[in-house]
Amino acid sequence: MLKNEVLAVTPWQAVLDVLQTSDMAENSLNLLKNLRFVEIQNSLLILEADNNFAKDWILKHFLNQILNAANSLETEISAVDIRVNPRRSIKPIQTEIQLSKEEIQREDKFVRLPKPVSRGLYSKNTFENFIAGNCNREAFEICKKIASEPCQTGMPLVYVYGHSGLGKTHLLQAIVHSVNGSNRNVRVRYVSAIRFLQDFLNQFKGTFTEKQKAEINFRETYEGVDLLLIDDVQLLSQKDATQLSLLQIIERRRLHGRQTVFSSDRLPSEMDQRHFKKRLLDRLEECLVVKLDLPDAQTRMGFVKRETVSFPFPEKERADICRWIATPSVPNFRVLFGKLNRLQAEHDFMQRPLSLHSVRMLLCPDATGRTIEAIAEATALAFGVCGEALRSPDRIQKVSFVRKVAMYICREDTEEPLQVIGAFFGRNHSTVISSCNSVAEMLQNNEDLAWRIQEIRYSFGRENN
């Protein structure tokens, strides 16, 4: 099957070895490693996956990388086919915590318990209310898949990672709402790491009988549910006994094919090893890690539009106002919430109108104090042209376009007369009017230009602040 007999195991293993030396993310490699080699038929590499989700995801995102790796080995592989074998069950792993047969048999009773109550859930934290974009789409899709096929996705351990305020709690709670709303006989529980710690400590309080009941309740709560979600697992730092208990729970759940989802603001490799048990970190490293990145411009825009539907913005200015609020990069969505809360308070309690001008004054008070010269410099810098060229008689197309944009911003954001604006750029007031009308017309159909103008305005405002 190979032109050069250089593969020691299987062609698929050789392809994986090549991919491991590439810059492919570790969680993506782990997903590919779950595929099983079947055979090669007439240059067709046939692999086997556990479920349709894994098959579709790999063919959509990794097919080119697989074929490139195969070509680098000088194989005859020119196509890939992935078949699904749902009958293959997940093999229990060998763990450092040994469970007796009696313990394993006793755990079957948990499956027949009534559905648990997950506390601390927010009704708005649903998939429908989550703004998905390039910064979080992978995590969003995987969490939706977990909710639609709990314990059937071939992902026994999932680790949702991202900084504070990016939507980890929202996604975990959305899974719970989706599963509970589907009327399926699936037992799911969501808890914060702090609640998990409290439940663990309750086993050691009260009389001997009360301790026994608390221990039984703890095991039923965390080992017996089909789907367990633990939020902010990094908060268990320096809680040695609690960490060992969590490790036992993970192992027992995996032996019974039950699914566990964690969230954290850092990767397992970034946890302080002085404050976390190595065995627990090893287990968390085995998770499928999905990351939430900082919100990109389009995601911020979608978020602001959704949250301001009821705001009394003038309809003609609504798109510009939302773009103004969403333009600057923010570390998380809570910063945007803070801005919107301020606008709402100013309107409700101070009776201020929420026009574009007033919003800009509230969120960036010094933004209207800019000069024509400063605007010209900022615009030239944003478009990569020389600032002096804007004032020259140069009629090169790019310079002319940037000059028009600068004139437009000057007219919109300063109180200078048209004659003054024109004089600065070496043009008359009728040229300023024509240039501004031309830019305004372009803005109706050019979203990218609208974003760039807002970025210029906002960058200038931050410099003044």
Give how far Cα 128 sits from Cα of 34, 124, 136, Å. 31, 9, 14
The whole-angstrom separation of Cα 176 and Cα 119 is: 11
**pTM reported for the whole predicted model:** 0.63
CA neighbor of 14 nearest in space, from 77, 55, 70, 82:
70
Residues 190 and 72 in one domain: no
Q: What is the CA radius of gyration of the chain?
A: 29
Going through 172-286 in order, the beta strands assigned E by DSSP cover 188-192, 227-231, 259-264
2 part of a folded domain: no
Is 414:375 a contact under the CB 8 Å cutoff?
Answer: yes
* Average pLDDT rounded to a whole number, residues 24-40: 82
The whole-angstrom separation of Cα 274 and Cα 284 is: 16
Number of Cβ within a 10 Å radius of residue 170: 21
The whole-angstrom separation of Cα 331 and Cα 83 is: 42
Q: What is the pLDDT of residue 118?
A: 60
Domain with residue 24: its CATH number is 3.30.300.180
Residues 267 and 344 in one domain: no
Number of Cβ within a 10 Å radius of residue 81: 13
Q: What is the pLDDT of residue 213?
A: 86
SS3 229: strand
Q: SS3 helix, strand, coil % of the chain, rounded to 5?
A: 55, 10, 35
Q: Taking the mean position of all CA atoms in its chain, how far away is CA 109?
A: 37
What DSSP assignment string belongs to 176-191? HHHHHHTT-S--EEEE
Residues 32 and 160 in one domain: no
Per-residue pLDDT reduced to its tens digit, 203-261: 888 888 888 888 888 988 899 899 999 999 999 998 988 999 999 999 999 888 899 99
224 part of a folded domain: yes
* Average pLDDT rounded to a whole number, residues 166-180: 94
The whole-angstrom separation of Cα 159 and Cα 171 is: 12
CA neighbor of 227 nearest in space, from 154, 119, 147, 124:
147
95 part of a folded domain: no
The whole-angstrom separation of Cα 250 and Cα 28 is: 22
21 part of a folded domain: yes
CA neighbor of 327 nearest in space, from 300, 354, 293:
300
Residues 190 and 128 in one domain: yes
Residues 398 and 432 in one domain: yes
Q: What is the pLDDT of residue 371?
A: 81
Eight-state DSSP code of residue 295: P
Residues 262 and 127 in one domain: yes
What DSSP assignment string belongs to 328-366? S--SSHHHHHHHHHHHHHHHHHH-----HHHHHHHHSGG
SS3 272: coil
The two tokens of residue 28 are 């993506």
Angle among Cα 232, 238, 244 to the nearest 5 degrees reads 80
Residues 315 and 258 in one domain: no
Per-residue pLDDT reduced to its tens digit, 438-450: 999 998 888 889 8
* Average pLDDT rounded to a whole number, residues 183-190: 85
Residues 117 and 247 in one domain: yes
The two tokens of residue 311 are 């705001």
Q: Are strands 188-192 and 227-231 parallel, antiparallel or unpaired?
A: parallel
Q: Number of structural domains, the chain?
A: 4
Q: Which domain-ending residue is among 259, 291, 323? A: 291
Angle among Cα 48, 49, 55 to the nearest 5 degrees reads 110
Per-residue pLDDT reduced to its tens digit, 87-108: 444 444 333 444 444 444 444 4
Is 387:376 a contact under the CB 8 Å cutoff?
Answer: yes
6 part of a folded domain: no
What DSSP assignment string belongs to 92-151? PPP-SS---HHHHHHGGGGGGSPPPPPPS--TT-SSTT----TTTHHHHHHHHHHHHSTT
- Which residues constitute the domain of residue 70? 11-84
pLDDT at residue 140 above 50? yes
70 part of a folded domain: yes
3 part of a folded domain: no
Task: Assign 3 a pLDDT band (cuts: 50, 70, 90).
Answer: very low
Q: What is the pLDDT of residue 86?
A: 60
The two tokens of residue 141 are 């899709």
5 part of a folded domain: no
Q: What is the mean pLDDT of the chain?
A: 83
The whole-angstrom separation of Cα 208 and Cα 205 is: 9
Q: Which domain-ending residue is among 42, 57, 84? A: 84
CA neighbor of 170 nearest in space, from 123, 207, 135:
123
Residues 282 and 304 in one domain: no
- Number of residues written out for the chain: 465
Q: What is the pLDDT of residue 455?
A: 79
Per-residue pLDDT reduced to its tens digit, 355-406: 888 888 787 755 544 788 878 877 887 888 887 889 888 788 889 999 999 9
The whole-angstrom separation of Cα 251 and Cα 264 is: 20
Residues 253 and 310 in one domain: no
The two tokens of residue 320 are 């510009």
Domain with residue 381: its CATH number is 1.10.1750.10
Residues 148 and 223 in one domain: yes
Number of Cβ within a 10 Å radius of residue 317: 15
Give the strand order in the sheet containing 259-264.
188-192, 227-231, 259-264, 157-161, 288-291
β-sheet bridge partners, residue 37? 47
The whole-angstrom separation of Cα 454 and Cα 328 is: 9
CA neighbor of 65 nearest in space, from 25, 105, 98:
25
Residues 189 and 281 in one domain: yes
Low-confidence winner among 143-157, 219-233, 353-367, 412-426 (lowest mean pLDDT): 353-367
The whole-angstrom separation of Cα 266 and Cα 237 is: 12
Is 157:34 a contact under the CB 8 Å cutoff?
Answer: no
Domain with residue 111: its CATH number is 3.40.50.300
Q: Which domain-ending residue is among 257, 276, 291? A: 291
The two tokens of residue 189 are 């529980």
